[in-house]
Amino acid sequence: MISALVESDDRQKLKELSQQRLQNATYLLRFGLHNGAGVHGGTPLEMLHAILLGNFMYVRNCFFEQIGKESQLLAIIDAVCIEYGEHYSRQSDRDMPKTKFN
């Protein structure tokens, strides 16, 4: 997909995907016959960006979008999260400052 956008010089689509227009040497390599994703499909996922900031944030945003910004459930969830944040603020090392999650 990225290599096709580079080939077609679609700079706007590349920008939307946070990609630059460069001719990467790995675009010529095959990473399996099952798809044409190239190096981007052949690179394993990593925890922070793909899962925590990718799938997790996507599901979280879908959930909150469905319950609504003004719903009672949102207020309850927000209150519970603030309470959890206060409980988790204590460090096991007492010399370290407390952290606040809210």
Q: Judge if 5 and 49 occupy the same domain.
A: no
Q: Judge if 56 and 78 occupy the same domain.
A: yes
Q: Judge if 10 and 51 occupy the same domain.
A: no
Q: Judge if 38 and 53 occupy the same domain.
A: no
- Give the model confidence (pLDDT) of 43-95 as tens digits: 777 777 777 777 888 888 888 889 888 899 999 998 998 888 877 777 677 77
Q: Judge if 26 and 67 occupy the same domain.
A: no
What are the structure tokens assigned to 83, written together?
A: 């309470």
> With the C-alpha atoms ordered 94, 96, 85, 50, is the resulting torsion angle positive or negative?
negative
Q: Judge if 38 and 50 occupy the same domain.
A: no
What pLDDT does residue 27 have? 76
Q: Judge if 51 and 96 occupy the same domain.
A: yes
Q: pTM of the entire structure?
A: 0.39
Domain count, the chain: 2
In the DSSP assignment, the letter for residue 28 is G
- Give the model confidence (pLDDT) of 8-56 as tens digits: 999 999 898 888 888 888 777 877 777 777 777 777 777 777 777 778 8
The full length of the chain comes to 102
Half-sphere exposure of 6 (CA within 13 A, CB side): 14
Domain that holds residue 92: 45-102
- Note whether 2 and 14 are within 8 A (CB): yes
d(CA 80, CA 88): 12
Q: Judge if 49 and 91 occupy the same domain.
A: yes
What pLDDT does residue 76 have? 93
